Structures are given as C-alpha cells and as structure tokens.
Structure 1
Amino acid sequence: MRDRDEPRTHGRLPPETTLSLLSNEVRASILWQLSEARGGDGPPPTLSFSELKALAAPEADSSRFNYHLQELVGPYVERVETEEQWGNASRPIPRMAGDPEVGYQLTPEGTTLIRTIRAWSAEAATDRELAIDHDCDYCGTTLTARYENAILAIECPGCEYLYDYNLTPPGVLTGVDDEFGDVDDADVLDRAAEYNRTVRLAFARGVCPYCGNGVDAEFQDPEDTGYPRGDRRAALIRRGCSHCGNKDNLTVGELLLREPRVISFCLDNGMDVTRTPIWEIEFAATDRHTTVRSTDPWAVAVDVTFGDDRLTLVVDESVTVVEEEGGA
C-alpha cells in the first residue's frame, strides 16, 4: 500500500499507473482524436461516444471501445454534459458511456500530454545548419549554430567554447503553415533565443519551467560538469527540480539577467537584455567578467561593463545578490 504523501496525478492516480494507461493503440487514438478535434481555436471540444468512436476506432466493437475509453476517464479524459445542454461548461456527470447525452473531452492532464507530444514531434527532418552573425568573445572566430536531435548548439569552431546548448522544440523551424524549411535562419535563431531565454530565466528565478516546482541551487566547479573548455568558466550554478527531475546549469551572469538593476543598467547603455539572445550578452554567455572571490563559502562577482560605465554584483552561496558597486 502506498503512503498517502507519495505522488499522485491530478486524476489522483500514481504516475506509473497513468503511464500504463497509454499502452494501447485505441487509447492513444482516443487522446489524439480529442486533441485533433480542437485544432487551434475555441474551447476544448466535446465529442459524443459515437463521434469519438468513429474517429478513433471505427473498426472496434462498441464494448471494446467503451472499455478503453473508460480506462482513460479521470486521468486524461473527462465525461461531460453535451455542449447543447450546458453551453461551454465542462461538468462531470454520473452517466453510462454511450448515453447520447454524454460527451467526452480532454482533461488538463490529457491536454498537456498531447500538447507535449505535438511540441516535440516533426513530420520532416529537422537537422539543420544555421547561419549566425556573431563572433567569439574569446578568439574572434565566427560562431557556428546547428539544430540536431532537438538540441540547439552554438559554439566557436576556433576555440571550442560552447555558447549555447539547449533542448529546443522543433517548432522553431516551422512556418505559419506548419511547413518545415520555409523559415529563414535568422527567424529560427530568434525563436530559439526567445524560447530558451524563457526556460533559463525561469530557472534563474527559482522556478522549474516544466512543472512549476521550486528548484534548488548550488555552485559547481565547471571542471566537474563535463562542459567543453571548462578552463574558461569560473563557476556554474546548478538548478535542479526534485519533482520532475529537470536540471540545468547557469552562468552567474545568466542568473543576473533576472535582476531589474541589471536590465535597467544595460538598457541605459543601449542593450535590451530581455530581447538580445543570451549568446550575444558577453557577461552572461562567458565568464570573461566573472571573478570567484571565494569558494568556502561561494562568493562570485560579475562586472557588467559598457566602456567606462560599470556595474558589479556579487552573488553569495544562496545565489542571492549581496553586494552592488557602481552603475549609478
């Protein structure tokens, strides 16, 4: 018997049980067709038993289809009154499957599940070299960019410094008509930059971007992380989520992109860090302006400079800004 404080899904089932419900083609088709019916507009659609069966499993007998449908009701599918009777309301009712007054729609969990599958699916090859107009801050070599296996990697071919390496959904490559290959490289990089900034700033602010849980933080020696050219990194902050297992590493400069004083200081000097790709923000993409003042406990200073104008922030063991110099 499971302890009461062990994980439960929104539908009140253990996560491994909800995953086991997906091991059937009819059930997978039910979820997919409920998602397909929605398209991109309007509230979640409600399909009757007969409509859903015709779309998801027209060859299955009604009793078999009903069995698989009811296995999904609760965690992934909601049984509701018809739209004609209740308008757009979604209201659970205790009726039997197949009743003509009953309709079915995805629960929030079901919607999220199918949305995630859609987000990370592509109908065409996505591996792609991308033209990028930015030079390495260390050696001046023009950077390279490549999207491969759902990873966007931006690095310097001259000194092998890695500027960006992020899990990025293939939607960044998609045009307005859902066609791959008709989006130019600059637009792909702009989309990727916006997406990855959102993900990384959520981590910087202490929130898991995937499940909303609070995340822990600790300083790490870059040489212990496996990053290439660890000798050019002063310190990394590991953020980890104990709920969904998501983890990421941030430079101290990236962490500071959450700070209003940094945003304002940069804007006063002509750089909008809320829109500039992180790989183009030198104090965030590199540690050229980062100094480790101590490691026991950790205290790390980052200089944000524009000519003679300088703002220095010091981050302590708790990844909190504890000192500020300059930037008046």
Structure 2
Amino acid sequence: MTGPEFVETSDTEAAFTALADETRIEIIRTLWAADGHEARFSELREAVGVRDSGRFNYHLEELLDQFVAKTDDGYELAEAGIWANGAIERGAYTMEGTLEPVTLEEPCRTCGEPRTLYYEGETVRIECESCPVKSEFTVPPSVFVDVDREQVPDTAGRYLRSMFQHLGNGFCWYCDGRIRRRVGPAADPDEEIPEDASVELFEQLLEFPLVEYDCRRCGATSSTGIGHALLDHPAVVGLFNEHDVGVDGRSVWRFAALDTDRARILERDPFRAAVTYEAETESLTLTVDGNCDVLEIDDSDA
C-alpha cells in the first residue's frame, strides 16, 4: 500500500505575489471578520471600500482558488487565506517591539544566581548573571500585546511550552512538516572549550542530554532540555496532578531540569539518558533512548 501523494499546485513566488497588494490583504481580513468568513460580492466590495466594481473583481480573482473560494452565496476564506490572516495578526511582518530587561523570580538552576529576560528582534533571550547558561527562542510581537510587564516571563514561558508540545507531537513549529527527534550531549566533546566557559561547566554539558528537533520539510532545527521535552508524558502529568500542580497552562520555567543532578546521560552506546521530576517528597525518573522514546519509568520517594 502506498502512502498519500501531494503535489505543488502553484509556485511560491506566485502565491506571495497574489498577496502583494493592499486591496487583496483587505479582502482577506474582511472575509475573516465576516460571519462564517463568507460574504456576497457587493457586501465584500463595500466593506473593503473599492468603488470600481471591475477593479475590485480583478483583485478578488487574483485570490481565487488559493486564498479565497467561490460559493453558491458568494465568497469565503479558504484555509490558505485563514493562515495568511493569522500571519498578519501574528505581527511577524508588520510589528516590532522591545522591552526593558526583566529579572526572573526563579534563579538559575545551574548556579543559583539571578537571571534576566531580554526581548529584542522578536527573540526572547534569558541569561544568567554569573554563568554562561542561556536560552533563546523566537516569540512574535503579538504574544506580548496587552500583557503587563510583570506577566511577560510567564507569558513567554507558556508560549515556549506550546512550542514544545507542537514539536513533541511530531510537527515543525514553523511549517508543520514532520520532524526527527534525537537526544545527545549538550556540548560536542570534539570541540574546544570556549574561552568564556569554565572547564567545570563544559564537562557538565558533556553529560547533560539535549533533545534536538530537525524538520524533514523546511530544515528548521530546535533544541531543548530533556525535562521540557517529556513534560507531557502521562506519568509526569500524573505525578504533578497528584500534588495539585497542573502542568497545562503553566510556564516551563517551573519544570526545567537544567543540571546533571536531574537530567543526565547514562550510556553512550547504546545511548541512554534519564530525567527526574520532583513533587514534594516524590520523584519520577524516565529513561529514554537516542530517539527520546521512554524505555523505563521509576517512581520513588525524593
């Protein structure tokens, strides 16, 4: 039995060219706001604000069969049109913003010193004041619209968690293509120690398991600690639920495992790594292989 087959129905340049006009963008946004994302020709033209019927029809025709579909009652937004509107609302093309650095309430889990969150160029960067451990991830400006300053760290953490959930389900965060998941050391043993890194920290990174995600379609790569990658495993969710600590809707900072006391490489060949979660006096350890598939589950008192 053969799998499903898909072909490109139009080239990328043609698709983006169809959106390269203010009137067409307004058609998409107007249909999005309409009941059922659908409207009659006259209603749509009036809402968009184009008096010339012929000119309006020209722009509408440029969107048909890809971003807009013709129905018995008029026109409706196609799936590609919905995604295009989402990209506009996301602010990736039209918004930019910065904020003053925010000191995080939770200290660095590696050295215990304060950490600071920075946001610039659509990138959240979290740095420790005393050690080189840091994290970076992209967050569109729309995520922080109408968010109070003190809520920024938690909002960024929940956004990052949604990214891990998407990747954990096997799909690329950027293009929804299928991803490959691999676990390996956070540092390459064949590389020289960076000048600004301590020997002790570098040796710790050699034993710390990092999960890498590679998209088979667009080639995008992402990585995270094994503690984040397995946060939605049923055994982990069950542990925290037993102690009234819901995993859903919480910031990832609450559950990070960023040191070799909680996440560690056990074997190199065959590859084995383990991560331990703690809730009051109980602990749960998951052992995984090089594909991040869970091999063993061990629960005991912390």
TM-score by length of 2: 0.80
Residue 302 (str. 1) matches residue 295 (str. 2): no
SS in 2 for 1:257: coil
1:54, distance to aligned residue in structure 2 (A): 7.2
Q: Deviation string for 1:159-192 (max 9, x for gaps)? A: 1311x422112223222xxxxxxx3223233322
Specify the code of the residue in structure 1 equivalent to 2:212. R
Residue 215 (str. 1) matches residue 193 (str. 2): no
Q: Contact conserved, 2:27 with 2:44, CA < 8 A, in 1?
A: no
Specify the code of the residue in structure 2 equivalent to 1:171. S
Distance 1:275 1:138 in 2: 25
Counterpart in 2 of 1:156? 128
1:249, distance to aligned residue in structure 2 (A): 0.8
Q: Deviation string for 1:104-127 (max 9, x for gaps)? A: 332110111121122125877520
Supply the RMSD in Å over aligned alpha carbons: 3.3
Moved over 6 A (4+): 225-230
1:208, distance to aligned residue in structure 2 (A): 3.0
Q: Match for 2:26 among 22, 32, 38?
A: 32
Cα 1:275–1:112 shift into 2, 3 Å: closer
Q: Deviation string for 1:49-100 (max 9, x for gaps)? A: 5742772655xx6545433432221011112233xxxxxxxxxxxxxxxxxx
Specify the code of the residue in structure 1 equivalent to 2:78. T
Identity %: 23
Q: Contact conserved, 2:31 with 2:77, CA < 8 A, in 1?
A: no
Residue 205 (str. 1) matches residue 134 (str. 2): no
SS in 2 for 1:237: strand
Counterpart in 1 of 2:48? 55
Specify the code of the residue in structure 2 equivalent to 1:168. V
Distance 1:327 1:209 in 2: 35
Counterpart in 2 of 1:93? none
Q: Deviation string for 1:250-309 (max 9, x for gaps)? A: 2111122021111222333454333432123242x4444122112223110112235653
Moved more, 306-315 or 149-158: 306-315
Counterpart in 2 of 1:107? 78
Counterpart in 1 of 2:154? 190
Specify the code of the residue in structure 2 equivalent to 1:44. H
1:211, distance to aligned residue in structure 2 (A): 4.6
Cα 1:252–1:18 shift into 2, 3 Å: same
Moved more, 315-324 or 226-235: 226-235
SS in 1 for 2:36: coil
Cα 1:142–1:256 shift into 2, 3 Å: same
Moved more, 28-37 or 139-148: 28-37
Unmatched 5+ residue regions in structure 1?
83-102, 176-182
Cα 1:259–1:191 shift into 2, 3 Å: same
Q: Contact conserved, 2:88 with 2:94, CA < 8 A, in 1?
A: no
Distance 1:188 1:280 in 2: 15
Counterpart in 2 of 1:43? 36
Unmatched 5+ residue regions in structure 2?
none
Residue 247 (str. 1) matches residue 226 (str. 2): no
Moved more, 107-116 or 130-139: 130-139
Residue 13 (str. 1) matches residue 4 (str. 2): no
Counterpart in 2 of 1:259? 233
Counterpart in 1 of 2:298? 325
Residue 174 (str. 1) matches residue 139 (str. 2): no
Counterpart in 1 of 2:68? 77
Q: Deviation string for 1:3-30 (max 9, x for gaps)? A: x95642xxx33444323433x42xx422
Counterpart in 2 of 1:95? none
Q: Match for 1:147 among 119, 122, 147?
A: 119
Q: Contact conserved, 2:32 with 2:85, CA < 8 A, in 1?
A: no
Q: Contact conserved, 2:118 with 2:124, CA < 8 A, in 1?
A: yes
Cα 1:80–1:224 shift into 2, 3 Å: farther
1:35, distance to aligned residue in structure 2 (A): 1.0
SS in 2 for 1:206: coil
Counterpart in 2 of 1:85? none
1:36, distance to aligned residue in structure 2 (A): 3.5
Cα 1:251–1:54 shift into 2, 3 Å: closer
Count the aligned residue pairs.
Answer: 287
